[in-house]
Amino acid sequence: MDGFLLVDKPEGVLSSHVINHYRKVLKTKLGHAGTLDPFASGLLVILVGNGTKLSSLVQGMEKEYHGVARFGIVTDTYDPTGRIISEEEKPDLDLKQIKVAMKKFVGEIEQIPPTFSAVKVAGERSYRLARKGVMVKKRPRKVRVYRLETIEFRPPDLHFRAVVGKGCYIRSLIHDLGQMLGHGATLWSLRRVRIGSFSVTDAIALGDPPTLYSLDEILQTLPQMRMSAEIIDSLIQGKSVEVVGRKDGLYFVTDGMRKILGMVKSDLLRTKRVIVQ
C-alpha cells in the first residue's frame, strides 16, 4: 500500500497522534512530511508505504498559513502555550506601520529558530534543553518568505497570511516582526491551509476513513522523464545515464511501472531515490 493522506489536524492534538491513528487503521508504514505544533491546526500530508521516501520532496514545497499575531505580548515559546515574559496593555500601532515592517520580511531572510523547537543542538532537541533550563545559542538560518500579508487588523490582533519555504518558523517570523515594531508579538493562532498544490479543503477530518492518494500526484509536481526498462535497470543499479539538454535538478523518472527520483547534473542523470521498484 503506497500513497499519501491529506488530514486536517485539529487544535490541541499532536501531529504524532494523527499519524499513529492512521497507522493503526492502515496497518502499514507511515511518515510525515512536516508536522504542526499542538496549538496549530490544518493540513498534514501523511505518507504511506513507499510514500515515506518522498518526505524531503514534500517538505521542500511552499506552505501557506493563516494566523493571528497578538501585539504587546511576548511568551518564551513565541506562542500562546508559553509563559508570558512581557506584556503591554495597549501597544500604539497602526496598520500602515505594520505593513511597512512586514515587507522587510519578504524574500530570503535570516531567522533564528525558537528556543522551544525541534531543531537539534549538539545532538539534542532544542525544546528538551529548554525544558531542562539549558539555554543555548542557535545560529540564524536562511529561510524564504514568499508572501506576508495582512488580512485584518483588530488591535491588538493582526490576522495575516504567510507563504513560506522549507524550515521557516511562523512563530519566529511574528516574534521578529514584534521586535522590529518595538512592541513585541506572539503567534496566537495558526492554520496551515496549503502545502504545494495540496489544499486543506481536500483533507479529511481526524477520525474519518482514510482517502489514499496516488504517489504520482506528488511525483508529477516534478518534470518527468519516460525511460525504457533497460535504462531504469541501469539507474537502479547505480549507473549514470547521459541526458543532453535537460536542466539540472530533480526529475520524476519512470518506465510506466517503476518510479525513481532522479537528479540531473551536467547532462548526467543519476538516481537520488528509488520510490517504487
Sole residue written with cell 481536500: 202
- Active site amino acids: 37
Which sign does the torsion angle of CA 48, 53, 55, 61 carry? negative
Cα separation, 211 vs 213, whole angstroms = 6
pLDDT at 89: 83
- Of the pLDDT bands very low, low, confident and very high (cuts 50, 70, 90), residue 266 is very high
Determine contact, residues 235/213, Cβ cutoff 8 Å: no
Quick one: cell of 75?
511568551
pLDDT at 130: 47
Q: Going from the N-terminus, what domains does the chain have, and what CATH number goes with each?
A: 3-61+196-217 (3.30.2350.10), 63-195 (3.30.2350.10), 222-276 (2.30.130.10)
Mean pLDDT, all residues of the chain:
91
Amino acid (one-letter) located at 265? K
The pLDDT tens digits for 112-125 are 888 755 555 545 54
Cα separation, 111 vs 166, whole angstroms = 12
Which sign does the torsion angle of CA 60, 63, 67, 72 carry? positive
The pLDDT tens digits for 95-150 are 999 999 999 999 999 998 887 555 555 455 444 544 555 566 668 899 999 999 99
Question: What is the model's pTM?
Answer: 0.89
The pLDDT tens digits for 212-260 are 999 999 999 999 999 999 999 999 999 999 998 899 999 999 999 999 9
pLDDT at 139: 80
pLDDT at 134: 55
- Of the pLDDT bands very low, low, confident and very high (cuts 50, 70, 90), residue 1 is confident
pLDDT at 151: 97
pLDDT at 116: 58
Percentage of residues in the chain with pLDDT exceeding 70? 92
Sole residue written with cell 490541541: 12
Cα separation, 220 vs 233, whole angstroms = 21
| Residue 55, SS3 per DSSP | helix
pLDDT at 44: 97
DSSP assignment of 122-156 = TTEEHHHHHHTT-------EEEEEEEEEEEEEETT
pLDDT of 79 > 70? The answer is yes
Determine contact, residues 71/156, Cβ cutoff 8 Å: yes
The pLDDT tens digits for 16-42 are 999 999 999 999 999 999 999 999 999
Cα separation, 223 vs 141, whole angstroms = 29
Cα separation, 108 vs 110, whole angstroms = 7
pLDDT of 90 > 50? The answer is yes
Determine contact, residues 39/86, Cβ cutoff 8 Å: no
Interval 153-176 mean pLDDT: 96
DSSP assignment of 198-233 = EEGGGPEETTSPP-PBPTHHHHTTS-EEE--HHHHH
